[in-house]
Each structure stands twice: as C-alpha cells, then as structure tokens.
Amino acid sequence: MDCLEFAELRYGMFIHYGLYSQLGRGEWVMNREKISPEQMRQVAVNFKPEHFSAREICQLAVDGSMKYLVFTTMHHDGFRLYPSKLTDFHSWQYCGRDLVREIVDAAREHDLRIGLYHSLNNWFDQPDAVAALENPDAYQQFISNTFARLKELLKLFTPIDIFWYDGWWPFNAEAWQAERMNRELREIQPGLLFNGRNGLPGDFRTPEKHLTAPEPWAPWEACMTLNEHWGYHAHDEDWKSPREVIRMLLTCAIGKGNLLLNIGPRGDGSIPEASSDIIRQVGTWLKNGGMELMQNITPMRFSPGLRQPSENGDWDPAGPFYAQGQRMFWVLLYFPGQQAVLTGLEMNVKEVSCRNFGRLKFIQKEDTITINLPPTMKKELAPTLIFDCDRPPSIYRTGGMRTPNVTHPRYDPVKPDIKY
C-alpha cells in the first residue's frame, strides 16, 4: 500500500487496549495517579482478557464498513501485548496470549489493512525518558533499548501496512534519531508506512481530536474517540451519536482524509455495547450509499461574481450539502418533515432521488425547490437526497430575506474545520 492508497481508505478503527484497561480509568492512569512499575506488575497478575476476540473486533470493523485497523501493541505504561525477549512485562507472561498476533491474523482473514501502534516512550522500562533527558549515558541506553524494541516488534509481525508511532515526548526528530529509525525499520519491512510522530513528517499526518487537513495537502487521518477517552473508562458515557460520526466522516472526506475512530475494550476484552451499536449504525449508512458519497465529494460553494464565495457552502437546519460534478447531495441529519424546502438554488434540478426510496416528487419555482418525502424516511439514519442538475450546483443565501443586488461581504465569516 502506498500513500495515495492509504489516503483513499477513508475509515479505520483504532483499538486502545492494554493493562490500563483493567483499571478502567483511561489510558494515562499510570502517569496521572503515579502508579509505580511494581504496582503495575500487581495489576498484570489479574490481566485476564477472556472476552477479547480479535475476530469479533475485525467483524465489527467490517460491519462498520471500515477498511483498516490500528492496534496498540504497547501504550505508555510499557505493557506489551505480544511475547518479548526484552522484558517479562508482556501478555504472554501473564495470560499466555499473543494478542497482537491474534489481531494481525484476524485482520488478514477479514481483508483489512493492519497498522501497529507503539509508544516510543514508556513509564515502565528503565532508564526512562526523564533519565535519558538528564544523563547522556542513560540517553544512549534508552535509545538502544527503543531501537531494539521496535525492531523486535516488526520482525515478529510481518508484513503489516502501517507503523503508528506515539509517545514522542520529550525528544525531537534528531534526538530520536528518527531518520535512522525509519530507515532501519524499512529494511525489515520495505513497504511500511509511518505516521509523523517520531519528529519527522511521516508518510501521513495524524491530527488528534480535531479535523484539520494539512497545508499543503498530504495524506492524513483524524484520530478521534467515540467518547472522551482512548482507553476504557468505566464511567465515561459521553458517547458521540451516529450522526456526529457521519458528520466527521464527511468532513474528513471533503479534506481527502481518513477518519480513524477509536474503541476502548474493557479490561476483560469485551467491547462496550454503545461502541458496537454506533459503529454498526454508521456502517449501515455507509453501505446504503454513504461510502460512495465520500469517495469524490467536494464542498458546495456560493456562486461567484459579485458575492464572495464560502469555503464550504451554506448551512441548513436539516443537514449539510456536498457536490460531485453536476450532482448535489443533501445529507438529512435531521428529518425536516413530509416536505423538504431548499432555497437559494442557482441551477435547475432535473431529478431528485434517494437510495432505498427511488425518485422523489418535487416542484421548483425559481430558486426554491420543495420535495415530498415518504413518511418512512424519518426512520432512516441520515438519508441522502441526490439532485441531478443542469450544471454544477451552487446555492446562494444571505442573512436577509432577499438577495442584494450590490456587492457585500460574506455574512458568515467563520472559518470551516477543513481548509480546502
């Protein structure tokens, strides 16, 4: 897989699972509560991922129309989810399972691309990053240990598609010896793609918890949580709705990027039901035309001429607009009722349709179109109306009740999430 192939995947699953999942207070619990390595060993004694099923995770990704996985092989707490000859702090030692192997094999069985997440820094191994920062001899040992760990991992699991660095604090690319790092890891797996979290730009960018395409454009993915934590938190019920996930997908698609959406299995490996439900609902929407929509959409624009164009078209209470050639797509995140009324059209509409409902009756009078919607449509998640037009679509609206005939500034100068 090359960078451009990666940029067209559009949707992937991030899986944060590790020893921290046992504690149920998020992935940074060791650091935030200053739990010692000795205490984490005691936590590891009870590490029993009896409900962790790589096949179920991969099937959920397939049900959600996701194209790839990224799995945490070792997070900042230093606990490896694979057997290692460099430490005894790993899953094979405590539960007799190689969870990374299970995920890699299951991903291949389900025709999913596979990425391995690995933290450069961790709070368990010694010397740690703080010691390396303070002492030159400790730094040399720290870097040697880091390279040995990365190379062991890639020799154990080959081939994979993506290597996902994280935990680059407190060093820059020079201190991490990042160019040598990428070069030597590519000698083990020549086709590997790297993200940009060892101080170098990488093959793709990874904005975290925001949807921002790089300028100038480069392949990118927005990594986002389904609630407010990456790792399992027993009391975080602040779930995003399926509509919010669809909106994130569309925003990423306009910026020609991917959405990497996270799940955090419980300590026993089971997936919170809310995560599964949201992913499956969005997957149904994608299978019913959503994925096709995301492949080539462009932002809707106000018309040019006297008026200044908007970067991302106008908003509507029912949902956003997108364009593709002479087609316009209106994603109804909020059902408008038996009739959908759209104003400001600067093109003639020849046909309106919706997948699962066929052609829809409509009347267009000048810049206003009224579409009759079947009552059963309100049960659908984010149905998308497709407008076939006589030219590339454009919509013009202002904050007034009619269009001014003179030059005026934009009425809504707020910048969009994505710059196109």
pLDDT score of 57 more than 50? yes
Q: Measure the CA–CA gap between 371 and 328, rounded to whole angstroms.
A: 14
Spatial CA neighbour of 222 closest among 32, 409, 70, 376: 70
Q: What is the pLDDT of residues 345-360, one digit of tens each?
A: 989 999 999 999 999 9
Judged against a pLDDT cut of 80, whether residue 304 lies above it is answered with: no
| 360-383 per-position pLDDT tens digit | 999 999 999 999 999 999 999 999
Q: Which CATH architecture has domain 299-389?
A: Sandwich (2.60)
- Are the CB atoms for 255 and 418 separated by under 8 Å? yes
Terminal CA-CA length for the chain: 25
> Considering only 279-283, 326-330, 416-420, which range has the smallest mean pLDDT?
416-420
Q: Is 194 left (phi over 0), alpha (psi -120 to 50) or beta?
A: beta
Q: What is the pLDDT confidence band of residue 312, given thresholds at 50, 70 and 90?
A: very low
> What's the pLDDT at 314?
57
What does the pLDDT read at residue 320? 86
pLDDT attached to residue 306: 39
Q: Model confidence over 402-411: pLDDT tens digits?
A: 777 777 665 5
Q: What is the pLDDT of residues 205-251, one digit of tens each?
A: 999 999 888 989 999 999 999 999 999 999 999 999 999 999 999 98
Low-confidence winner among 193-202, 289-298, 328-337, 344-353 (lowest mean pLDDT): 289-298
Can you name the residues that pair with 65 across neighbouring β-strands? none
Q: Which two tokens stand for residue 229?
A: 């934590």
pLDDT at 309 over 70: no
- Of 320, 332, 306, 294, nearest in space to 416 by CA: 320
Q: pLDDT per residue over 112-131, tens digit each?
A: 999 999 999 999 999 999 99
Please report which residue ranges of 236-323 form alpha helices under DSSP H.
Answer: 242-254, 273-285, 291-296
**DSSP summary character for residue 159:** S
3-class secondary structure, 351: strand
Domain ranges of the chain: 3-295, 299-389
Characterise 111 by phi-psi region: left (phi > 0), alpha (psi -120 to 50), beta (else).
left
Structure tokens at 81: 């989810």
Residues, the chain: 420
Sign of CA dihedral 12, 18, 23, 26: negative
Q: CA 300 to CA 171: how far, in whole Å? A: 42
Binned at pLDDT 50, 70 and 90, residue 254 comes out as confident
Domain 3-295 = CATH 3.20.20.80 = yes
Least reliable range by pLDDT among 102-106, 304-308, 339-343: 304-308
Phi/psi for 117 (5° steps) reads: -85, 140
**What confidence tens digit (pLDDT) does each residue in 64-74 have?**
999 999 999 99
Does residue 413 carry a pLDDT above 50?
no
Percent of the chain with pLDDT over 70: 93
Q: Is the pLDDT of residue 310 over 50?
A: no
- Average pLDDT, integer, range 144-170: 97
**Based on the number of CB atoms within 10 Å of its own CB, is 181 exposed (0-12), middle (13-18) or buried (19 or more)?**
buried
Buried b (16+ CB within 10 A) or exposed e, 401-414: eeeeeeeeeeeeee
